[in-house]
């Protein structure tokens, strides 16, 4: 009998067995020493909760809103690059699971499945994450495609003007599709389920880019174009330009400092996401959960504050909400579920988080997620 899956850690262990090393490591690593990557998770541990008793805990609800949209719990799936390399057609699996769960799915610019692929395989609007490239015509076209797909929010990432160095990607020779080196061939031979699923799909490259960017005709030109396109000159003027181009709900991702949070408010964006890119950019930056309270204090109710980074349980979700986040994004937890079992694995991930969140909220003496605030945090 298979061992029951009871936690995100269980899904992580299965994903590690099933996903080729270079793609698992891409998901499960950070930049340089990986200190920020680790602290995103570990900094939740010292935050303790108040347990309450003899409270009516019937009729509990996790329903709330994120960026003005109704959600079944304060959780959204984060934009993650190369998702379709964790599992064939991975973004489609994730979007379907999110739709069934009643939470937002965010598609990355650097996805394997395209904007159109997701629109064709779902029935409700999803969110699209945008990177600012040097080729502004390509950026404008991406925005038009997101509009045509009826995406309900644009998530603009601000913290990837240049790439942080990720040692594991260099060691593994990360590429899409994987290079057929001796080491990679040997590793792929141990992942028959992954290989079989990949043979059944034609989605094996960056489909938001291939066929849409000038001069990109093959995998080699795609690789060089991508490496050169992240724009180090990105400024708040570009944020205004994108806001005007988009004309819809705008969420700014990558805010970690109160001064930048003030600029996010001034930009007129609808929400910001406290995030350090999963510890994949500035190693040594503070964790998202550590940055959250200061940013909430700085902006008050002038902009909605969301959080991304280190969420591995429903308890983590509750702690983030208690410290002021309106909702959270899950990236690695989602990818562990996806790598472990496709859509069913993502559903298992969301079910685990939902159950933990509901029960923990009840232990804290509350029945409605909208009533959660800092009062549930234990003061030592």
124 labelled binding-site residue: no
Q: Which residues pair with 66 in a beta bridge?
A: 69
Active site includes 87? no
204 labelled binding-site residue: no
SS3 162: coil
Distance, in Å, from the CA atom of 380 to the CA atom of 312, rounded to the nearest integer, reads 24
173 labelled binding-site residue: no
- According to the 3-state scheme, what is the secondary structure of 85-111? HCCCCHHHHHHHHHHHHCCCEEECCCC
Per the residue annotation, which of 93, 167, 212, 277 is the catalytic one? 277
360 labelled binding-site residue: no
79 labelled binding-site residue: yes
283 labelled binding-site residue: no
CB 358 within 8 A of CB 50: no
Return the CA Rg of the chain: 20
152 labelled binding-site residue: no
108 labelled binding-site residue: yes
157 labelled binding-site residue: yes
> How is residue 24 written in tokens?
């698992």
243-282 core/surface letters (b: 16 or more CB in 10 A; e: else): bebbeebbbbbbbbeeebbbbbbebebbbbbbbbbbbbbe
166 labelled binding-site residue: yes
Residue positions forming the annotated binding site for FMN: 79-81, 108, 129, 157, 253, 275, 308-312, 331-332
- Sequence ranges of the binding site for glyoxylate: 26, 131, 166, 277, 280
Catalytically active residues are 277
Annotated binding site: 26, 79-81, 108, 129, 131, 157, 166, 253, 275, 277, 280, 308-312, 331-332
């Amino acid at each position: 009998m298979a061992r029951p899956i009871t936690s995100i850690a269980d899904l992580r262990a299965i994903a590690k067995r099933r996903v080729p090393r270079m793609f698992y490591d891409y998901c499960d690593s950070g930049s340089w020493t990986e200190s920020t990557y680790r602290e995103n998770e570990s900094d939740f541990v010292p935050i303790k909760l108040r347990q309450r008793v003899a409270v009516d805990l019937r009729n509990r609800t996790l329903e709330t809103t994120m960026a003005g949209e109704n959600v079944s719990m304060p959780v959204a799936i984060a934009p993650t690059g190369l998702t379709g390399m964790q599992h064939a057609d991975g973004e489609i699996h994730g979007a379907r699971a999110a739709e069934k769960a009643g939470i937002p799915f965010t598609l990355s610019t650097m996805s394997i499945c395209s904007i159109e692929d997701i629109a064709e395989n779902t029935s409700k609007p999803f969110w699209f994450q945008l990177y600012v490239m040097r080729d502004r015509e390509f950026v404008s076209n991406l925005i038009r495609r997101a509009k045509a797909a009826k995406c309900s929010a644009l998530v603009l990432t601000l913290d990837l003007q240049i790439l942080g160095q990720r040692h594991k990607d260099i060691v593994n020779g990360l590429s899409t599709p994987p290079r057929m080196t001796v080491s990679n061939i040997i590793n792929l031979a141990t992942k028959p389920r992954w290989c079989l699923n990949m043979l059944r799909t034609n989605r094996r490259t960056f489909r938001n880019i291939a066929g849409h960017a000038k001069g990109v005709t093959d995998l080699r030109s795609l690789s060089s174009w991508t490496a050169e396109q992240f724009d180090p000159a990105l400024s708040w003027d570009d944020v205004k330009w994108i806001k005007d181009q988009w004309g819809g709900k705008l969420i700014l991702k990558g805010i970690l400092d109160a001064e930048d949070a003030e600029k996010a408010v001034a930009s007129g964006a609808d929400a910001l996401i406290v995030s350090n890119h999963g510890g994949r950019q500035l190693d040594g930056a503070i964790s998202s959960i550590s940055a959250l309270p200061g940013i909430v204090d700085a902006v008050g109710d002038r902009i909605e504050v969301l959080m991304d980074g280190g969420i591995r349980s429903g308890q983590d979700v509750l702690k983030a909400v208690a410290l002021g986040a309106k909702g959270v994004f899950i990236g690695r937890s989602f990818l562990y579920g996806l790598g472990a079992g496709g859509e069913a694995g993502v559903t298992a991930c969301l079910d685990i988080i939902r159950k933990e969140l509901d029960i923990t909220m009840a232990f804290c003496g509350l029945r409605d997620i909208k009533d959660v605030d800092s009062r549930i945090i234990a003061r030592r």
